[in-house]
């Protein structure tokens, strides 16, 4: 697959901006030989003082893939705004679990991208329905009390799992999100292409409330029995809710993979930061 129209998104920081300008200069030089369109979303173009850009709806229609310069938060925000479009991240952040390129020595990776020497890896996402609204999560849906320092009694029902427990909250994560918030809360690392949903209680009162990995075809109904609750969806949406349903999304995220990665080695490397 050759990319004819490559979208470009940068985090709005001085560091990411420097890397973005270098990447743009490299891509424009390559464009003279390879012939592809480099398109910018409006916030990126404004931050980098570029002349031509596209608003969200038009940008989403025009691009075949998106190159992201930033950290995992930038990737997650881009996936929420432009779901389903294949994405590749040049990591300029601290963690970079979602990235396939590092800010040092990424030119060779971009050459392979332009030449179509990559694969697209699909990752399952979650759908969360709450109070008449719907959102999609690539990493996780976290449920907690509005006052995050207080315990909340959560009632969780699925096809085979019915439990009520007191904790600071609960995280429902995808395999991709198993190395994010869930891992910090004591959850397991799950190979990213396995389809499953992990429930990780946050600081539970009972020692018997351990993380549980469920088949991806399970759905969950969650409500609070005592306090008002909030949800956080990939750290991008934070809203008060009364109850919610979580289940596998019909629409996967699409990762551009130029280099093969060992998730276990990556986790060990990132955990030492």
Q: What is the mean pLDDT of the chain?
A: 94
- Which tokens sit at 105? 């020595």
* DSSP H or E run through 144: strand 140-145
148-164 b/e (C-beta count within 10 Å ≥ 16 → b): eeebbebebebeeeeee
- What is the structure's pLDDT at 270? 61
For range 130-136, the mean pLDDT: 97
Whether 272 shows a pLDDT value over 60: the answer reads no
What are the catalytic residues? 72
Q: How far apart are the C-alpha atoms of 140 and 74, rounded to whole Å? A: 15
Backbone angles phi, psi at 186, to 5 degrees: 95, 10
For range 102-129, the mean pLDDT: 96
Q: How far apart are the C-alpha atoms of 210 and 126, rounded to whole Å? A: 21
pTM above 0.85, yes or no: yes
Q: How far apart are the C-alpha atoms of 230 and 224, rounded to whole Å? A: 10
Q: How far apart are the C-alpha atoms of 137 and 126, rounded to whole Å? A: 5
Whether 273 shows a pLDDT value over 60: the answer reads no
Structural domains in the chain?
5-123+252-271 (3.40.50.10330), 126-248 (2.60.200.30)
Q: How far apart are the C-alpha atoms of 250 and 263, rounded to whole Å? A: 25
Determine contact, residues 103/19, Cβ cutoff 8 Å: yes
Nearest CA to 238 out of 124, 80, 75 is that of 80
43: number of CA atoms within 13 Å, CB side? 11
Q: How far apart are the C-alpha atoms of 91 and 99, rounded to whole Å? A: 6
Distances (CA, A) of 86 to 22, 36, 89: 22, 16, 10
Grouping H, G, I as helix, E, B as strand and the rest as coil, residue 209 is coil
The percentage of residues in the chain with a pLDDT greater than 70, rounded to a whole number, is: 98
* DSSP H or E run through 133: strand 133-137
Distances (CA, A) of 94 to 20, 32, 72, 86, 269: 17, 33, 9, 22, 11
174-207 residue pLDDT tens: 999 999 999 999 999 999 989 999 999 999 998 7
Distances (CA, A) of 192 to 16, 36, 114, 189, 199: 26, 31, 25, 9, 16
51-105 residue pLDDT tens: 899 999 999 999 999 999 999 999 999 999 999 999 999 999 887 899 999 999 8
Chain centroid, CA 200 distance in Å: 18
14-41 residue pLDDT tens: 999 999 999 999 999 998 888 899 999 9
């Amino acid at each position: 697959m050759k990319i004819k129209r490559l979208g470009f998104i940068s985090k709005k920081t001085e560091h990411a901006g420097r890397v973005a300008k270098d990447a743009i200069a490299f891509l424009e030089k390559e464009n003279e030989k390879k012939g592809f369109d480099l398109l910018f979303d409006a916030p990126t173009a404004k931050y980098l003082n570029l002349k031509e850009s596209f608003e969200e709806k038009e940008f989403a229609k025009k691009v075949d893939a998106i190159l992201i310069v930033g950290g995992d938060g930038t990737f997650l925000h881009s996936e929420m705004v432009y779901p389903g479009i294949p994405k590749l991240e040049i990591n300029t952040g601290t963690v970079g679990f979602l990235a396939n390129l590092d800010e040092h020595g990424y030119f060779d990776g971009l050459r392979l991208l332009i030449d179509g020497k990559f694969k697209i890896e699909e990752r399952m996402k979650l759908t969360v329905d709450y109070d008449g609204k719907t959102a999609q999560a690539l990493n996780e849906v976290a449920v907690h009390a509005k006052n995050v320092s207080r315990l909340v009694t959560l009632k969780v029902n699925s096809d085979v799992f019915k439990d009520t427990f007191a904790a600071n909250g609960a995280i429902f994560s995808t395999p991709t999100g198993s190395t994010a918030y869930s891992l910090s809360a004591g959850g397991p690392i799950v190979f990213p292409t396995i389809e499953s949903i992990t429930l990780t209680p946050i600081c539970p009162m009972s020692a018997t409330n351990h993380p549980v990995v469920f088949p991806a075809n399970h759905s969950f109904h969650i409500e609070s029995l005592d306090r008002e609750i909030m949800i956080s969806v990939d750290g991008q949406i934070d809203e008060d809710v009364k109850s919610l349903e979580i289940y596998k999304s019909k629409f996967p995220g699409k990762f551009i993979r130029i280099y093969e990665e060992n998730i276990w080695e990556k986790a060990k490397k990132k955990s030492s930061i």
